[in-house]
Amino acid sequence: MSVFTNEEKVQILSDVVEIESVNDHEKDVAEYLQKLFNKHDIQSEIISVNDSDSRANLVAEIGSGSPVLGVSGHMDVVTTGDLDSWNYEPFKLTEDDEGRLHGRGAADMKSGTVALALALIEIKEAGTLKQGTIRFMATAGEEITSAGAKDLYEKGYMDDVDALLIAEPSQDGLVYTHKGTMDIRVTSKGKSAHSSMPELGFNAINPLADFIHYLNKAYSEVDVKSDVLGTPTMNGTVINGGDQVNSIPDRAEALFNMRTIPEYDNKRFESLFNDVKDQVEETKGVDLTVEPYVNRDPISTTGDSDFIKMTQSLAESHFNRSFDLTSTTATTDASFLMKDKDEQFGFIMFGPGESGQAHQVDEYVSKDVYTQFVDFYTQLFSKYLNQ
């Protein structure tokens, strides 16, 4: 007997979608889930992130001892974007004629996070876990910097974890590897002066222009490729400098976004930027700063762990279709949670929702797929730990 009917599963997801945790207020989601866990005697802990009053992670556990299976999802969602282009209210879960549930976070990834929580309760109430621990980790801030996951990693919550499942939307494939991401700010400092007397100042724009030119040139010679993830990418996406046409600008900055692979990772990009900085600073008076402000590593695992094999075969029988092992260009909390894990580690990203639905207007998850995932997780987690 299940604890939750499908209607109750949808109602709980609906409650969580109504909490507007747009890059903040994850604590409200954590408190909602904690109340739910309390009803079923599951211990949990709300852990504030960066001393915030409104941002927090939630960790809950059932079972005891090893092995430890980590299951994780984030509680934040991205902004709605242009509200006029939505056909549904973003923060009210609405079912359409085809059984699709629409709302911000329906796919990315409140359905996944809630499905994990409900599976934990189902397993606890059924008493099916014979050994080991399931550690549920719901995070804050995934969509921007993974601040919540970084905090859990630093506090040691991953130290004893033997396998990790992240329930990001990926209902059509089992993801075992993904790209990293990195944002770097390059700032050029100069000295302002009237443009009729430029010799009294130092123009901050010129070194930045040189920097961009040399960087693109150096990067054009980079020739690396991962068989699975393809090539890394680097793009200058924002540039700012100066505020008045007849003033010498004292500051200019450019922002760059990179998508990284294990063969050309975040550290490698950082040293590329620093090499180019050194090159441009050979000119007298140039003062550049290179500051990586988002830094999430790529994830590389071999994809043939026991956990992945078991997930694949159970998914194929449960959903009655075949599933490929695959990769994604997106980045997840695994960038921090997996920091100390090696290639053999059993990592899998598999959750309700099509990956293409993330961040979309009228975002949705299929009601059937969502409810089936609760049952799937319930079976998988105890099967993996009981073996």
String marking each residue 171-210 x if it binds Zn ion according to CB under 5 A: ----------------------------------------
Q: Which is nearer to Zn ion, 108 or 122 (CB)?
A: 108
Q: Is 140 in the site for Zn ion (CB under 5 A)?
A: no
Q: Show contacts with Zn ion in window 16-35 (CB under 5 A).
A: none
3-state DSSP assignment of residue 135: strand
Answer for the pair 172, 373: CB distance below 8 angstroms, yes or no.
no
What does the alpha-carbon distance between residue 32 and residue 28 come to, in Å, rounded to a whole number?
Answer: 6
Count residues near Zn ion (CB under 5 A): 3
Task: Give the shortest CB-74-to-Zn ion separation in angstroms.
Answer: 6
Instruction: Considering the candidates 61, 108, 122, 142, report the single residue annotated as catalytic.
Output: 142
Q: Is 108 in the site for Zn ion (CB under 5 A)?
A: yes
Q: Which residue is nearest to Zn ion (CB)?
A: 108
142 assigned to active site? yes
3-state percent breakdown (helix, strand, coil) of the chain, nearest 5: 35, 30, 40
Element (H, E) at 298: none
Q: Which stretch binds Zn ion (CB under 5 A): 54-62, 101-109, 127-135, 215-223?
A: 101-109
Q: Which stretch binds Zn ion (CB under 5 A): 26-34, 145-153, 168-176, 211-219?
A: 168-176
String marking each residue 51-90 x if it binds Zn ion according to CB under 5 A: ----------------------------------------
Task: Give the shortest CB-369-to-Zn ion separation in angstroms.
Answer: 16
Task: Give the shortest CB-21-to-Zn ion separation in angstroms.
Answer: 12
Element (H, E) at 331: none
Dihedral sign of CA atoms 354, 355, 361, 364 in order: positive
Q: Which is nearer to Zn ion, 55 or 277 (CB)?
A: 55
Q: Which is nearer to Zn ion, 78 or 209 (CB)?
A: 78
Q: Is 109 in the site for Zn ion (CB under 5 A)?
A: yes
Task: Give the shortest CB-382-to-Zn ion separation in angstroms.
Answer: 26
What does the alpha-carbon distance between residue 362 and residue 88 come to, in Å, rounded to a whole number?
Answer: 6
Q: Is 167 in the site for Zn ion (CB under 5 A)?
A: no
What does the alpha-carbon distance between residue 78 and residue 99 come to, in Å, rounded to a whole number?
Answer: 23
Answer for the pair 149, 83: CB distance below 8 angstroms, yes or no.
no
Q: Which is nearer to Zn ion, 109 or 261 (CB)?
A: 109
Q: Which is nearer to Zn ion, 56 or 286 (CB)?
A: 56
Q: Which residues pair with 354 in a beta bridge?
A: none
Task: Give the shortest CB-357-to-Zn ion separation in angstroms.
Answer: 10
Q: Which residue shows structure tokens 């003062």?
A: 287
**What is residue 299's DSSP assignment?**
B
Residues 6+ apart with CB under 8 A from 294: 144, 145, 181, 182, 183
What does the alpha-carbon distance between residue 370 and residue 10 come to, in Å, rounded to a whole number?
Answer: 8
223 assigned to active site? no
Q: Which is nearer to Zn ion, 78 or 228 (CB)?
A: 78
Taking every pair of Cα atoms in the chain, the longest distance, rounded to a whole number of angstroms, is 82
Instruction: Considering the candidates 76, 122, 151, 210, report the single residue annotated as catalytic.
Output: 76
Task: Give the shortest CB-151-to-Zn ion separation in angstroms.
Answer: 17
Task: Give the shortest CB-108-to-Zn ion separation in angstroms.
Answer: 4
Tokens standing for residue 375: 């049952």
Tokens standing for residue 12: 């709980």
Q: Which is nearer to Zn ion, 12 or 77 (CB)?
A: 77
3-state DSSP assignment of residue 52: coil
Q: Which stretch binds Zn ion (CB under 5 A): 108-116, 231-239, 255-263, 316-324?
A: 108-116
3-state DSSP assignment of residue 96: coil
Q: Which residue shows structure tokens 């499942």?
A: 165
Q: Which stretch binds Zn ion (CB under 5 A): 35-43, 53-61, 109-117, 178-186?
A: 109-117
Degrees, nearest 5: CA angle 83-89-95? 140
Residues marked as catalytic: 76, 142
Binding site for Zn ion (CB under 5 A): 108-109, 168
